[in-house]
């Protein structure tokens, strides 16, 4: 019997036959995330965790046999962070999807990592509560994946990202132990904040098996301001002016014409007939404060040379525009393989960065569509390459690299919410420098001494 077969049989003995997958066709659906251009290799097997303790048994087996592990949620990532590597076992956490507790008094929820973001939001909303982090993939992405990448989303401009809401974790460590990090209380400063360290670690420090998040009361429905612009740089000027006026919108999103046309092709919404670029702003202060904030936002849009500005009183129209923003990426995927950026610049530099992206598109000769969480400077240029067109892929990669260079030149960062994974490793190394990279590798070595957790990623 081959050594590999013996290894898998031993894992099967621990987990059960139905939980260890080796069929090539089935395993193929677990080997990569949505970053189509990030490399991946076939794993030895997929281990599906379906009950508490499966993750611990898998880690202990991996430590005994020095087998690398790659944790995976729904596979919606955009940096290759969940891609399998040769000789690894992919640990699927999608079946660990129970909402274990919602506590309205303490305003916390405890969930398993496979709980889908929107399901958590819907569950707590039944008790008048709200979990703010809302990545565009919220209908599909899992809380465990959101924790891995420190996901943000539309609301994060005002309400923060995943790390701002995770207060406790249960983790299987690099020694095969199960530990609880963080707290359940409103405050707590005993020791280093190890729970925060694991948020955004992209599965490189351990396997998260339970997440405790804090919640907020459901916000006021708010007011939505729409602005139409002839070009994306003008929209960027409006974004800068919103900040200059001291406004903190609950959402401020850009969608360009390329993305609008793609959404129209997919849904028939007819948005591209109205504008080249749409800027969607929301404020959620109640009462007269909300009225004043909406008026200030409209004035900021006008300062950016908007061709049309209006506050919509139609909730369905506002929801449709935000739905179009969330559909931009899946709609663009229909046009061909995408190379997706996730850069962040200071709000004052948003217009200039958008101008440089347009220039790169012209210089390189590649289509670059843009959506953005513009309110906090988080831009998502999307490079489109034709299927099986190697020349376009090379030009898209050149544009990707130049965008990172220009972002860093403006003092920005190479990723705001998608993570480093595989695609951003060179950029992260340039941004952080050798000393900081050495510190991060030292943390990795201390918490994962055998190096079994998602090796070859991030660092």
Give a yes or no: residue 379 inside a domain. yes
**Do residues 85 and 109 both lie within one domain?**
no
Give a yes or no: residue 126 inside a domain. yes
**Do residues 167 and 144 both lie within one domain?**
yes
Containing 309, the helix (H) or strand (E) segment is strand 308-312
pLDDT tens profile 128-171: 999 999 998 999 999 999 999 999 999 999 999 999 999 999 99
Torsion of CA 304, 310, 314, 316, to 10 degrees: -30
Give a yes or no: residue 108 inside a domain. yes
Task: Give bridge partners of residue 213 from the DSSP assignment.
Answer: 109, 166
**Do residues 236 and 306 both lie within one domain?**
yes
**Do residues 17 and 37 both lie within one domain?**
yes
Give a yes or no: residue 456 inside a domain. no
Residue 11's domain comprises 3-92
**Do residues 26 and 120 both lie within one domain?**
no
> Which of 199, 217, 235 represents a domain boundary (last residue)?
217
CATH of the domain at 152: 3.30.465.10
Residue 191 exposed, middle or buried by CB count within 10 Å (0-12, 13-18, 19+) = exposed
> Which of 187, 217, 247 represents a domain boundary (last residue)?
217
Distances (CA, A) of 200 to 74, 83, 164, 177: 16, 16, 12, 21
Q: How confident is the model at residue 324 (pLDDT cuts 50, 70, 90)?
A: confident
What phi, psi does 212 have (nearest 5°)? -110, 125
pLDDT tens profile 230-271: 999 999 999 999 999 999 999 999 999 999 999 999 998 888
Q: How confident is the model at residue 272 (pLDDT cuts 50, 70, 90)?
A: confident
What phi, psi does 3 have (nearest 5°)? -60, -40
How far is 56 from 97, CA to CA, in rounded Å?
17
At residue 123, does pLDDT exceed 60?
Answer: yes
Give a yes or no: residue 455 inside a domain. no
Give a yes or no: residue 459 inside a domain. no
CATH of the domain at 37: 3.30.43.10
pTM reported for the whole predicted model: 0.95
**Do residues 183 and 227 both lie within one domain?**
no
> Which of 92, 123, 155 represents a domain boundary (last residue)?
92
Give a yes or no: residue 458 inside a domain. no
**Do residues 42 and 123 both lie within one domain?**
no
Give a yes or no: residue 457 inside a domain. no
* Domain total in the chain: 4
**Do residues 227 and 319 both lie within one domain?**
yes
């Amino acid at each position: 019997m081959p050594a590999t077969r013996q290894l898998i049989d031993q894992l099967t003995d621990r987990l059960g036959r139905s939980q260890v997958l080796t069929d090539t066709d089935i395993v193929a659906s677990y080997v990569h995330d949505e970053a189509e251009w990030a490399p991946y290799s076939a794993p030895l097997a997929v281990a599906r965790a379906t009950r508490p303790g499966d993750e611990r048994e898998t880690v202990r087996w991996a430590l005994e046999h020095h087998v690398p592990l790659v944790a995976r949620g729904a596979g919606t990532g955009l940096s290759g962070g969940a891609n399998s590597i040769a000789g690894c076992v992919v640990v699927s956490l999608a079946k660990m999807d129970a909402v274990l507790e919602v506590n309205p008094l303490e305003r916390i929820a405890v969930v398993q990592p496979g709980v889908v973001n929107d399901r958590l939001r819907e569950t707590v909303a039944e008790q008048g509560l709200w979990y703010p982090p809302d990545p565009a993939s919220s209908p599909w992405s899992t809380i465990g994946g959101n924790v891995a990448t420190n996901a943000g989303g539309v609301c994060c401009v005002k309400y923060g990202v995943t790390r701002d809401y995770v207060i406790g974790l249960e983790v299987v460590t690099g020694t095969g132990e199960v530990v609880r990090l963080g707290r359940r209380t409103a405050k707590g400063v005993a020791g280093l904040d190890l729970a925060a360290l694991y948020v955004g670690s992209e599965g490189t420090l351990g396997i998260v098996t339970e997440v405790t998040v804090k919640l907020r009361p459901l916000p006021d429905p708010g007011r939505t301001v729409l602005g139409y612009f002839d070009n994306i740089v003008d929209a960027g000027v409006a974004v800068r002016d919103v900040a200059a006026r001291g406004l903190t919108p609950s959402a401020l999103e850009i969608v360009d014409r390329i993305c609008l046309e793609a959404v129209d092709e997919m849904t028939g919404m007819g948005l591209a007939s109205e504008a080249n670029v749409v800027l969607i702003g929301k404020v959620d202060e109640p009462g007269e404060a909300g009225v004043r904030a909406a008026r200030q936002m409209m004035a900021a849009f006008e300062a950016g040379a908007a061709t049309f500005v209006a506050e919509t009183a139609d909730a369905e129209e506002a929801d449709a525009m935000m739905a179009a923003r969330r559909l931009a990426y899946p709609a663009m995927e229909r046009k061909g393989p995408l190379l997706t950026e996730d850069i962040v610049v200071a709000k004052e530099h948003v217009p200039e960065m958008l101008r440089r992206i347009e220039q790169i598109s012209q210089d390189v000769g590649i289509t670059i569509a843009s959506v953005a969480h513009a309110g906090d400077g988080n831009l998502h240029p999307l490079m489109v390459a034709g299927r099986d067109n190697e020349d376009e892929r090379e030009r898209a990669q050149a544009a990707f690299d130049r965008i990172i260079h220009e972002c860093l030149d403006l003092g920005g960062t190479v990723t705001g919410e998608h993570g480093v994974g595989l695609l951003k490793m060179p950029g992260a190394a340039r941004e952080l420098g050798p000393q900081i990279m050495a510190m991060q590798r030292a943390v990795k070595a201390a918490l994962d001494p055998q190096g079994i957790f998602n090796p070859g990623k991030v660092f």
